[in-house]
Structure 1
Amino acid sequence: MAEHSVITPLPGTFYRKATPDSANYVEVGDPVSADTVIGLIEVMKQFSELTAGTAGRLSAFQVEDGDLVEPGQVVATLDSE
């Protein structure tokens, strides 16, 4: 298996769920497809979905829910097939 990094293209705040009362989009260990949403990046009250980018299994989040992120920063890692 190869490791794949999910990188944010935007600066902003990373959220693992759509609303404070929602469940997380994905959990560590979950299988994902390339277009599975793993979180949101919020910039000035505009939310952009961050997708896995490849099929595999989510191995770790590199940032916490609510952390500020910069373009090019690794948000999560996947074990891809």
Structure 2
Amino acid sequence: MSTVDAQMPGVFYRRPSPEADPYIETGTLVQAGQTIGLIEVMKTFNEVKAEKPGRVSKILLDDGDEVDIGQSMFEVDEA
């Protein structure tokens, strides 16, 4: 198991817009480099990408949660 940690402080989002489906759900298989969330900093949206392939085992934040540098956002069971 590995975690995906925030590279910057900001506001976390699981979807590209309020009406869109989330990028991922618990159990989703992800590839390295796949967008799995967003962090908003001063009205700029920065993509959060999976670092390694695997299955998302836990989503640790909800839409709109504030996140700090180094805070874990997802747990991924490596493939």
Q: Identify the TM-score tier after normalising by the shorter chain.
A: over 0.9
1:38 equivalent among 27, 36, 45: 36
For 2:15 and 2:60, how far apart are their aligned partners in 1?
16
Give 1:24's aligned residue.
22
Task: Please identify runs of 4+ aligned residues in structure 1 that moved more than 2 A.
Answer: none
Normalising to structure 1: TM-score of the pair? 0.94
For 1:34 and 1:4, how far apart are their aligned partners in 2?
13
For 1:29 and 1:36, how far apart are their aligned partners in 2?
15
Give 1:50's aligned residue.
48
For 1:52 and 1:64, how far apart are their aligned partners in 2?
17
Normalising to structure 2: TM-score of the pair? 0.97
For 1:65 and 1:59, how far apart are their aligned partners in 2?
18
Count of aligned pairs = 79
For 1:8 and 1:65, how far apart are their aligned partners in 2?
14
Give 2:76's aligned residue.
78
